[in-house]
Structure 1
Amino acid sequence: MSYQALMNSLKRKVVLPVYLFWGEETFLLEEVLAKFKYQLIPPDVRDFNMDVVEGKNVSPEDIVRLATTLPFMSDKRVVIIENADLFKAQKKTGEKSDQAKSQEELLIEYCKQPLDTTCLIFTSDSVDRKKKLFKAVQETGMAVEFTPLKDTELNDWVENRINGMGKNIETEAVDELVAAVGSNLRMLDAELRKLFNYTGERKVINREDVLQLVSKTTNLSIFELVDAVGERNSQKAIQLMREMIIYGEPPVRLLFMVAKHFRTLLQAKTLYLTGYAEKQVATQLQIHPYVARKCVRQSKNFSREELEQALEKILETDISIKTSYREPVLALELLFVNLCRQERAI
């Protein structure tokens, strides 16, 4: 089941008796847990009707005991078992004892016939879908994998997040922010809060706000740098490079990002010339559609031969820096001038 399906059910106020949450996107997982913790039980009786325990500290029998306790002055109890190893693939370290098997069977039976008055929630960093316990949760509850959001989902999340704060954000601003920060929701949330405060009484956040405010420690400056090189603007590229080195960015990392960008430009150009549309380029290269549009546009500034030669020049620069043949800042300046002064492709 998806995160969106879970959110839709919660909007309809449908609360199931058993849940299992796992996956890489811990920010979303933590937010969903907070909803269960703070919205399902009235504050004045929460202490009597909520248990949050570490999976390693409780046995299956303990979990069943907590789950079968009736609520006190509330319609529901919430029991959260964090980092539950019970759902992971079993390590080959010998057979489980009869007692362990018996206790696990007890928990499986509970999950198949849970109490409606208890909401039992397990979290785990990974699961084995073949386990009986996993299947038992699916029978009466919901197993939700929290995977990183991509493309439209990610943009929608940003828009919904800022809407929830009482403001709107332009599409171009969303694209710029996602391209700069990436898909890390924790970082995106931090930047959105800064943008909210920065724009004051203004109700709409625009692209210029993002360019002005998004932290120099994010990928935005690197994105601007490779963008400037891709647009053959050596003056801007050199200025950004000097600023970023002052901010502590290692020259070798900047060179790596330029190399990565030119490899993407070469791939984008090859696909586009083959007949791929921009959306197809994004899918093939597994990059954000906004980045794909820019790469296709920038690739038109270079011929295939120029892009191949550019990668060779970047390699030569890398060697000159690592062998101390040339001072890093000077080496990057010469590279940017070299890349940007070539004849434009037709």
Structure 2
Amino acid sequence: MKKDLPIVVYYGENEYELNKSIGDLALETGYSIKEINDGLDFLDLINILNTPSLFEGNLIYKITNDTILNDDSNLEVLKEYINNPSPFSKGLIITKKIDLRKKTSKFFKENNLLLEFPLRKGANLRKWVKEHFWNHGYNISDDTVAYLLEVVGENQIMIENELKKIFIYEPDHKNITIKDLDILITNNVQSNIFNLLDNMFSDHGKMLKALENLYKLKEPEIKIIFMIIRDLRIILRIKWFLKEKYRDDKIASLLQIHPYVAEKKIELSKKLTFEEVFKYLKLFYEVEEKIKSGSGEGKMLLRSTLLSMK
């Protein structure tokens, strides 16, 4: 957002970059942020913007109730204000989605008063992670970035929290490895789901440790089972791709996952037959149904089922 724009709409799912942009704007302008969650129309907002604050100085009013964007009745008032704005206040409207069928929304877009913050995904997110490491003087391989995202997830707020811990630790070598991440990243839900799935057919000790950690984090059996079923379904798809002689890079592209993550899943899929994958899927669907219907104690059912995997 340019510091001289009087009212702007920020929209999108990327809370991390949206909030960072708001902080940058406050620093750039020297204005303070004041949040308003009341239901306003544009006449209300303009009256607020035109009223100087005696004690708080210049303000950016952050409007978090996006119903104001439904107000087409005051469009002419809004246009007039944009041409003759307050010298001491700015308006910032926050919303997840924008309806460009609305006249007001169209006006914001046509006048470059609309800024989107989409979620970063795939190569764009991996590039953002690598730049974070470079800016702190560290190198990280594509495979290690893929591992980080698989373990931590794709939420940029969570990723940055983990990166801060790594940078505070200040490894004495400049190339961050998977081993470094295993030592430093938080024992969170995503990392334990990853470890459970990764060790389900190979190391029951590590698998049960991950399950125990998930219980400590208050994760319900149904969610854990959902993640296992999702992973088995991915393995099943990989087996079909391999049967059709698809290359590993093609499989990664079709699944929209990094080649490093795809490689690990491909390795596992080769160790299992179609019959075994179907058997395990059926088994977990049955466990899910038993837990939902109250036909057995969830923890015992899930633990015994996991221990039967080999």
Question: What TM-score range do you get, normalising by the shorter chain?
Answer: 0.7 to 0.9
Q: Is the 8 A contact 1:108 1:132 kept in 2?
A: no
Q: How many angstroms apart in 2 are the aligned matches of 1:274 and 1:108?
A: 60
Q: CA deviation at 1:58?
A: 5.2
Q: CA deviation at 1:22?
A: 1.3
- Corresponding pairs, count: 302
> Which of the residues 84, 95, 116 maps onto 1:145?
116
Q: Is the 8 A contact 1:60 1:107 kept in 2?
A: yes
Q: CA deviation at 1:269?
A: 2.0
- The residue matched to 2:94 in structure 1 has which SS? strand
Amino acid of the residue matched to residue 61 of structure 1? L
Q: How many angstroms apart in 1 are the aligned matches of 2:222 and 2:104?
A: 49
**C-alpha distance after superposition, 1:17-76 (max 9, x if no partner):** 5531012222211111111111233xxxx4xxx564526365523544666799xxxxxx
- The residue matched to 1:216 in structure 2 has which SS? coil
Q: How many angstroms apart in 2 are the aligned matches of 1:327 and 1:37?
A: 50
Amino acid of the residue matched to residue 263 of structure 1? R
Q: How many angstroms apart in 1 are the aligned matches of 2:299 and 2:92?
A: 53
Q: Is the 8 A contact 1:281 1:292 kept in 2?
A: yes
**C-alpha distance after superposition, 1:239-266 (max 9, x if no partner):** 5445555665555544333222111211
> Which of the residues 11, 21, 29 maps onto 1:32?
21
Q: How many angstroms apart in 1 are the aligned matches of 2:34 and 2:169?
A: 37
Q: CA deviation at 1:308?
A: 0.8
Q: Is the 8 A contact 1:82 1:122 kept in 2?
A: yes
Q: Is the 8 A contact 2:39 2:68 kept in 1?
A: no
> Which of the residues 36, 43, 55 maps onto 1:61?
43
Q: CA deviation at 1:278?
A: 4.4
The yes-or-no answer on 1:304 pairing with 2:274 is: yes
**Matches for 1:107-256 after TM superposition, within 5 Å:** 107-111=78-82, 113=83, 120-230=91-201, 232-242=202-212, 244-245=214-215, 249-256=219-226
Q: CA deviation at 1:189?
A: 1.5
Partner of 1:73: none
> Which of the residues 312, 323, 328 maps onto 2:295?
323
- The residue matched to 2:10 in structure 1 has which SS? strand
Q: Is the 8 A contact 1:88 1:126 kept in 2?
A: no
- The residue matched to 1:212 in structure 2 has which SS? helix
- Given the superposition, is the C-alpha separation of residues 248 and 132 from structure 1 closer, same or farther in structure 2, using an over 3 Å criterion? closer
Amino acid of the residue matched to residue 323 of structure 1? S
Partner of 1:266: 236
- Given the superposition, is the C-alpha separation of residues 64 and 166 from structure 1 closer, same or farther in structure 2, using an over 3 Å criterion? farther
Deviates more, 1:14-23 or 1:184-193: 14-23
The yes-or-no answer on 1:85 pairing with 2:85 is: no
Q: How many angstroms apart in 1 are the aligned matches of 2:206 and 2:136?
A: 35
Where do 5+ consecutive residues of structure 2 fail to align?
53-57
Q: Is the 8 A contact 1:87 1:133 kept in 2?
A: no
Partner of 2:8: 19
Q: How many angstroms apart in 2 are the aligned matches of 1:316 and 1:303?
A: 20
**C-alpha distance after superposition, 1:311-343 (max 9, x if no partner):** 12333444666523x8845x5555345431xxx
- Given the superposition, is the C-alpha separation of residues 314 and 138 from structure 1 closer, same or farther in structure 2, using an over 3 Å criterion? closer
TM-score, with normalisation over the residues of structure 1?
Answer: 0.71
**C-alpha distance after superposition, 1:203-251 (max 9, x if no partner):** 4432112112222233112211111125x44454345445555665555
Identical aligned residues as a percent: 24
Q: How many angstroms apart in 1 are the aligned matches of 2:41 and 2:252?
A: 47
Where do 5+ consecutive residues of structure 1 fail to align?
1-5, 71-76, 91-99, 341-346
- The residue matched to 1:293 in structure 2 has which SS? helix
- Given the superposition, is the C-alpha separation of residues 261 and 132 from structure 1 closer, same or farther in structure 2, using an over 3 Å criterion? same
Q: Is the 8 A contact 1:81 1:121 kept in 2?
A: yes
- The residue matched to 1:20 in structure 2 has which SS? strand
